[in-house]
Amino acid sequence: MKKTTLAAFLFLVLVLSCQYPPFLKYYLTSNKTHIPRFTKWDKVIGSNSNPLRAYDVKSYDWTIHVDPEQEQIHAVMKIQFQMESTQDSIFLDFERHLKLDAIQSSVPLKRTKRKKDAVFVVFKQAVPKGTTVLLEITYHGTPTKILSYTAINWGRDKNNVPWISTATEGIGPHHMMPCKNLLADEPDSCFIRVGVPYGLVGVANGKLDSITKTPTEKIYHWAVRNPINIYNLSFNVGDYVKLEKNYADINQVNQKIEIYALTYNKILADTFYKQAPIIMQKLENLYGPYPWWKDGCKIIETNLPHGVCMEHQSAIAMTNAYQTRYKNINFTLVHELAHEWWGNSVTAYDYADLWLHEGFAEYTEALFAERHLGKEDYTLFIGHFSKSIANQRPLVKPYGVRYNNLVHDDDQDIYNKGVMFLHTLRMQLNDDTLFFKTLKNVQHHFSKRSMTTEQFMVFFNAETKRDFTPFFDVYLKQPKPPLLEFRIDRSRNDSIVLEYRWAENLPTNFNMRVTVTNGETTQTILPSMKMQYLTLPKNQSFSFDITKFGYVLFRKRDD
């Protein structure tokens, strides 16, 4: 980026960020750490252990009356939770621009107070630990727009019929509903009731229980009977038609994959989504049974900005899907469906661990390519993912601040570098049977609950009976991967000598196998901080192929 462009860009960021200061910190970082500085308030609101968060959400029951003409919602959120300690107050997340009309409570209220993007609820008396509380919050408004992102995207299809899609990952689910915006606390069940004008269809997560009618709208009652992470709650409105794809699951039970496409795209969607059962079969083989058959499996045509697709649990949002294909597969669909295992079933404990969602979903694209198309395509995908890595910020971010990994380019490494780390683990383990068995076991062990990076590491080490701790430390906690410095000495008549060493400090027990490909043969070297030498036959080219051993950077010395 040239300087003038950079200045203009920073000015734009500054102006737009003033509209919403929390975005600014991701750009104004010190060169040393590249990590944003979080305010005291960020830490209060984002903490997993804040005493005012000491309640366990049991269910959300969310009714949204959608007004496409006014581009606003009137909604009621019923949150049922259990107190985890005896206390007289709690708080919820709720974006400041949404209008709060009323709060009712099953426990007598003293008062409520809004501060920034939170609602503090004070009860008349301390509520004993274990008490179940039901809050009913009535509100309305239009979710605010930050840069070009907003929770609810009000659009029109090409027939000028309203077409509304939602997505809150990054921006935060509290931009469209009051909730507890922490990944670690998933409700056990959830109801989403979407009220829409006649002629439109409301689609949300889970199974359609019923449709009721009022004089002015049809209400679609959707039920999720599984835990669901909070940014997955979503709804979509449009001129939808439902299609079905038959699929015999991994246990040979006949299932349906449902497609909600715009009516005028019915034929296109019917052909396009023939790939869905193929993808599902490979993913079930990789990771075990699809976790949400009880809630169904839906793919919904959406119109999210920038062509964004989303892993909304049991209701995958696909934008501009028909245009994107490689060998008849839309790999973004592979990615989003992979999130049903990595992100939706096994959920990061904190937004700091979000690489677990994106790294695994992205890596699944390569694994699917390998299983569906062959080894060459795996290599091609890995080569592709190894590019566009910033190596500026560690993959694991600070905990307890609801780190937003989706704002700044430097944080996008949770995708590609996440892939390269997992690929490195696989190559270094050098035992595919054990690697894939371990991934399946992770899925089984952490099914429908949260997992920290640390828990994943401990589990992976135990299952493989190897200590990969130094790899986790280097690839996830440091901004830069290992740097291999090498020099080729061609001064001898009968051979060439490769000199090599790690150029930067690494943990003493960091033992990485590196392969040197020399014509038809490969040789393994074990670099350290000390210079080492490998003699190779004269006149033969050699290369380091990271698709064979893992992700490192290289520095060639010509002296």
**Which residue has the closest beta carbon to Zn ion?**
361
| Location of structure tokens 């050098």 | 430
Q: Could you tell me which residues come within 8 angstroms of residue 168 by beta carbon, excluding any fewer than 6 positions away?
A: 151, 175, 176, 231, 233, 234
Kindly tell me which of 95 and 358 has the beta carbon lying closer to Zn ion.
358
Kindly tell me which of 152 and 361 has the beta carbon lying closer to Zn ion.
361
Kindly tell me which of 230 and 361 has the beta carbon lying closer to Zn ion.
361
| Location of structure tokens 């049903």 | 340
How far is residue 224's CA from residue 222's CA, in Å, rounded to a whole number? 7
Choose one: 116-124, 282-290, 350-358, 371-379; the region binding Zn ion (CB under 5 A): 350-358
Kindly tell me which of 117 and 358 has the beta carbon lying closer to Zn ion.
358
The distance of closest approach from Cβ of residue 335 to Zn ion in the complex, given in angstroms and rounded to an integer, is 6
Structural tokens at position 387: 């590019």
Kindly tell me which of 196 and 356 has the beta carbon lying closer to Zn ion.
356
> Taking the mean position of all CA atoms in its chain, how far away is CA 486?
37
Report the 10 Å Cβ neighbour count for 557.
11
Choose one: 150-158, 180-188, 351-359, 380-388; the region binding Zn ion (CB under 5 A): 351-359
Kindly tell me which of 81 and 342 has the beta carbon lying closer to Zn ion.
342
Hey, what amino acid is at 137? I
> Of 508, 548, 552, which Cα lies nearest the Cα of 530?
508
Kindly tell me which of 358 and 365 has the beta carbon lying closer to Zn ion.
358
Q: Are 213 and 246 in contact (CB under 8 A)?
A: no
Report the 10 Å Cβ neighbour count for 515.
17
Looking at 151, 257, 361, 419, which residue binds Zn ion (CB under 5 A)?
A: 361
The distance of closest approach from Cβ of residue 322 to Zn ion in the complex, given in angstroms and rounded to an integer, is 20
If one asks whether residue 167 binds Zn ion (CB under 5 A), the answer comes out as: no
Choose one: 85-93, 353-361, 393-401, 524-532; the region binding Zn ion (CB under 5 A): 353-361
Q: Count of residues binding Zn ion (CB under 5 A)?
A: 2
Kindly tell me which of 67 and 340 has the beta carbon lying closer to Zn ion.
340
Q: Are 135 and 104 in contact (CB under 8 A)?
A: yes
Kindly tell me which of 52 and 406 has the beta carbon lying closer to Zn ion.
406
Choose one: 46-54, 287-295, 356-364, 444-452; the region binding Zn ion (CB under 5 A): 356-364
Element at 209 (helix H, strand E): strand 207-213
Cα separation of the two ends of the chain: 31
How far is residue 390's CA from residue 371's CA, in Å, rounded to a whole number? 29
> Taking the mean position of all CA atoms in its chain, how far away is CA 497?
45
Kindly tell me which of 118 and 361 has the beta carbon lying closer to Zn ion.
361
The distance of closest approach from Cβ of residue 394 to Zn ion in the complex, given in angstroms and rounded to an integer, is 19
Q: Are 155 and 313 in contact (CB under 8 A)?
A: no
* Sheet strands (E) in 452-512: 483-489, 495-502
The distance of closest approach from Cβ of residue 201 to Zn ion in the complex, given in angstroms and rounded to an integer, is 26
Choose one: 256-264, 267-275, 359-367, 442-450; the region binding Zn ion (CB under 5 A): 359-367
State the pairing for strand pair 217-224/207-213. Answer: antiparallel
Kindly tell me which of 219 and 406 has the beta carbon lying closer to Zn ion.
406
How far is residue 29's CA from residue 36's CA, in Å, rounded to a whole number? 5
Q: Are 95 and 146 in contact (CB under 8 A)?
A: no
| Location of structure tokens 């040197």 | 516
Report the 10 Å Cβ neighbour count for 449.
13
The distance of closest approach from Cβ of residue 355 to Zn ion in the complex, given in angstroms and rounded to an integer, is 11
The distance of closest approach from Cβ of residue 362 to Zn ion in the complex, given in angstroms and rounded to an integer, is 7
> Taking the mean position of all CA atoms in its chain, how far away is CA 31?
27
The distance of closest approach from Cβ of residue 352 to Zn ion in the complex, given in angstroms and rounded to an integer, is 16
Return the residues of window 236-295 that contact Zn ion according to CB under 5 A. Answer: none
The distance of closest approach from Cβ of residue 550 to Zn ion in the complex, given in angstroms and rounded to an integer, is 22
Strand arrangement of the beta sheet that strand 514-518 belongs to: 521-525, 514-518, 542-544
Give residues in contact with Zn ion (CB under 5 A): 358, 361
